[in-house]
């Protein structure tokens, strides 16, 4: 662990939950005159590095936006390559994730994933279920608006079945119907590659999350970049709408 890391840790004000929009793989490849998939492959190495760093920094929750609902609109060859990479990533990392006590979860429209990737994912989730060091949530075929609509549908069904009084629906019970029911809201949301938008990610959950955008492209994002994002987070004054003396 480097000096900067120790310094950031010593400040004590560590985020409990870090969420990341892992963006910029295509541009990273383009700069090298390589196909986009080359960037996705390199991006997998960043996923590995960031999970390892988060575990070392004892961050309890890390949530990674890996594939959005809108990403299905990309060329078929790119989508297929991403599915293949997902399966390959899972197969190559599984043993180490288990060994490190990292629990993997996934949220999104998981039944839309290619069966080979979906099956590998199910096995990974099962194999890591007892992990207690860090919970990594992979967002796959994820869309924030769909998540909210699905929660609303569940609430309506429960009301129709007489299991819930509409008057009892409040923010807390609604949050409990989202995919993220058992996760705290993110404290810090990192987006790589400089885009100043949320792209349909965790819309409900980021109401009071600190946003951090870096120009670093995802394949170049490393441990040091994560530490700098946390250092920037520690400089923020989180007011939650109130005033501080």
Question: Residues in the site for ligand IPE, rule: CB under 6 A?
Answer: 21-27, 65-68, 70-71, 82, 193, 195, 197, 199, 218
Cβ-in-10-Å burial (0-12, 13-18, 19+) of 110 comes to middle
Residue 11 or residue 32: which is nearer to Mg ion going by CB?
Answer: 32
* Contact of 8 with 227, CB cutoff 8 Å: yes
Residue 67 interacting partner from ligand IPE, Mg ion, none (CB closer than 5 to 8 Å by kind) = ligand IPE
62, β-bridge pairs = 18, 136
Closest separation in Å from C-beta 245 to ligand IPE = 39
Phi and psi, residue 134, nearest 5°: -150, 140
Q: Which residue is nearest to ligand IPE (CB)?
A: 26
Residue 5 or residue 17: which is nearer to ligand IPE going by CB?
Answer: 17
Phi and psi, residue 165, nearest 5°: -90, 125
Among 156, 155, 139, which residue's Cα sits nearest to residue 203? 139
Structure tokens at 60: 């309890």
Give 111's DSSP letter: G
Closest separation in Å from C-beta 123 to ligand IPE = 22
Residue 155 or residue 192: which is nearer to ligand IPE going by CB?
Answer: 192
Closest separation in Å from C-beta 165 to ligand IPE = 37
The catalytic residue positions are 23, 71
Residue 177 or residue 214: which is nearer to ligand IPE going by CB?
Answer: 214
Cβ-in-10-Å burial (0-12, 13-18, 19+) of 129 comes to exposed
Residue 117 interacting partner from ligand IPE, Mg ion, none (CB closer than 5 to 8 Å by kind) = none
Interaction between residue 23 and Mg ion (CB under 5 A) = yes
Residues engaged in binding Mg ion (CB under 5 A): 23
């Amino acid at each position: 662990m480097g000096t900067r890391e120790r310094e950031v840790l010593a400040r004590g004000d560590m985020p409990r939950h870090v969420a990341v929009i892992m963006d910029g793989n295509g541009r990273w490849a383009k700069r090298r005159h390589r196909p986009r998939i080359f960037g996705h492959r390199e991006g997998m190495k960043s996923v590995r590095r960031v999970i390892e760093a988060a575990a070392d920094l004892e961050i309890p929750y890390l949530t990674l936006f890996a594939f959005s609902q809108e990403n299905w609109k990309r060329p078929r060859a790119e989508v297929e390559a991403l599915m293949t990479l997902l399966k390959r990533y899972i197969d190559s990392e599984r043993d180490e994730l288990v060994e490190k006590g990292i629990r993997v979860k996934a949220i999104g429209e998981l039944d839309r994933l290619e069966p080979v990737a979906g099956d590998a994912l199910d096995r990974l989730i099962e194999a890591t279920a007892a992990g207690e060091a860090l919970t990594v949530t992979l967002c796959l075929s994820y869309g924030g608006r769909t998540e909210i609509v699905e929660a609303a549908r569940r609430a309506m069904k429960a009301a129709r079945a007489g299991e819930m009084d509409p008057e009892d629906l409040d923010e807390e019970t609604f949050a409990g119907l989202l995919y993220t029911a058992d996760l705290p809201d993110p404290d810090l949301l990192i987006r790589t590659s400089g885009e100043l938008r949320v792209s349909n990610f965790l819309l409900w959950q980021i109401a009071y999350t600190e946003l951090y955008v870096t120009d670093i492209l995802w394949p170049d994002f490393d441990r040091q970049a994560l530490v700098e994002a946390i250092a920037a987070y520690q400089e923020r004054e989180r007011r939650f709408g109130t005033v501080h003396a």
